Amino acid sequence: MAIARDIIDRPGAAAAPARPAPLGEMIDPFGRAITYLRISVTDRCDFRCVYCMAEDMTFLPKRDLLTLEELDRLSTAFVEKGVRKLRLTGGEPLVRRNIMHLIRSLSRHLRSGALDELTITTNGSQLERFAGELADCGVKRINVSLDTLDPDKFKAITRWGDFGKVMAGIDAAQAAGIKIKLNAVALKGFNDDEIPSMLEWAHGRGMDLTLIETMPLGEIDGDRTDQYLPLSAVRAGLAERFTLTDIPYKTGGPARYVEVKETGGRLGFITPLTHNFCESCNRVRLTCTGTLYMCLGQEDAADLRAPLRASEGNELLSNAIDEAIGRKPKGHDFIIDRETRKPAVSRHMSVTGG
Ligand code: SAM
Ligand code: SF4
């Protein structure tokens, strides 16, 4: 009962529930049930999006990565402790060798009813190849990141991406019956003028669209203060053309949704900088080396690789997870520092996963 003890001992944890967490439930010191695990299965990627990575990124040595079997064991430990939703991300999850072995193996938790959802966030480059198999594993909805519909701009923003491949991937996923939500990072002077047409295109194809503010994560080649576009301004602009109505729709993520009357589709806003969404945070993030981050915007972490490897049983691992959840911070404090122009958090999004 490491969580319960931590709740009682922890200073400033007055908001914590008095009851001990029952088996199969993880409750953090602020009373939030942790039901969502995002796993970065690799830090590598076949794109080099300008806001995410430097072009000459140094990746982790392969020997530091958890094996697919270890990732399975870790994920399964979380499922046994109450996680209902798993999202594989990265880097690009579909470039990790034999990733479908892991997805197929994890799909047993969908069949047993222990898991509600198994999903991925992908740049779409490998989707044409994997869409059928993903659907076969019970993957019903995925997030595809796409910041522009202009092939030249796509090349400029992803540096290495092939727009045609991503379009073919989206077609393949839809043909396989997988629902797609598009994620677009809103970038000043890059795609602000394109957002209305992206919205119409996405909704015309039955896809929700979510806009994301750039977050100050990791050193990149450019200057983030130049890229930052507050979504409050984007929303105000869209409201001149479209009728936007707030709706309580939730996907288990931090997006706030509106319904767009003219298209009949949904538009989400993820606003880490202009709006603090931490109060309802239900997630933790695991890196491909087995480090658990309790918050995307804080350096607080727990090493789960050592307890995972220390014994074949899961007791040490389970205790380490309880200890980590017991110190999940209340929230993040993202700012883009205009003086130093340094990121608020030094690790890249590709390490913790988006
Ligand atoms: N490679 C996959 C993809 O692009 O969908 C998954 C990993 S990627 C890190 C996940 C999401 O994070 C993408 O939608 C990407 O646009 C977003 N992202 C990356 N760096 C970001 C940043 N600094 N601020 C906001 N979003 C970012
Ligand atoms: Fe790769 Fe995704 Fe980062 Fe783009 S956003 S570089 S696709 S990990």
Q: How many independent structural domains does the chain possess? A: 1
How high is the pLDDT of residue 347? Answer: 62
How high is the pLDDT of residue 271? Answer: 83
What is the SS3 assignment for 94? helix
Q: Is the CB of 92 under 6 A from ligand 1?
A: yes
Q: Is the CB of 158 under 6 A from ligand 1?
A: no
How high is the pLDDT of residue 276? Answer: 60
How high is the pLDDT of residue 163? Answer: 98
Q: Is the CB of 186 under 6 A from ligand 1?
A: no
Tens of pLDDT, residue by residue over 85-94, are: 999 999 999 9
| Alpha-carbon gap, residue 81 to 290, rounded angstroms | 17
Q: Is the CB of 52 under 6 A from ligand 2?
A: yes
| Alpha-carbon gap, residue 92 to 126, rounded angstroms | 9
Percent helix, strand and coil across the chain, each rounded to 5? Answer: 35, 20, 45
pLDDT over 90 percentage in the chain: 71
Substitution candidate for ligand 1 out of 92, 185, 271, 283 with most atoms within 8 A of CB: 185
Lowest mean pLDDT among 118-132, 214-228, 238-252: 214-228
Is residue 127 within a helix (H) or strand (E), and if so which, with residue range?
A: helix 127-136
Q: Would you say residue 26 lies in a domain? A: no
pLDDT for residue 153 is more than 50? yes
Q: Would you say residue 19 lies in a domain? A: no
Nearest to 212, CA basis, from 189, 250, 182: 182
**Residue identifier of the C-alpha nearest atom 21 of ligand 1:** 52
Q: Would you say residue 18 lies in a domain? A: no
What is the value of pTM for the model shown? Answer: 0.89
Most confident residue range from 45-54, 137-146, 215-224? 137-146
**Residue identifier of the C-alpha nearest atom 26 of ligand 1:** 214
| Alpha-carbon gap, residue 93 to 312, rounded angstroms | 26
Q: Would you say residue 140 lies in a domain? A: yes
Q: Is the CB of 173 under 6 A from ligand 2?
A: no
Q: Would you say residue 14 lies in a domain? A: no
**Mean pLDDT, residues 114-142:** 98
Supply the CATH number for residue 145's domain: 3.20.20.70
| Alpha-carbon gap, residue 222 to 48, rounded angstroms | 13
Q: Would you say residue 300 lies in a domain? A: yes
CA of 71 to the centre of ligand 2 (A): 21
CA of 350 to the centre of ligand 2 (A): 7
Range of 302's domain? 33-352
Q: Would you say residue 3 lies in a domain? A: no
How high is the pLDDT of residue 11? Answer: 34
Banded model confidence at residue 221, pLDDT cuts 50, 70, 90: confident
CA of 203 to the centre of ligand 1 (A): 21
Lowest mean pLDDT among 43-52, 162-171, 199-208, 224-233: 224-233
Q: Would you say residue 216 lies in a domain? A: yes
Banded model confidence at residue 218, pLDDT cuts 50, 70, 90: low
**Closest ligand 1 atom, CA of 272?**
25
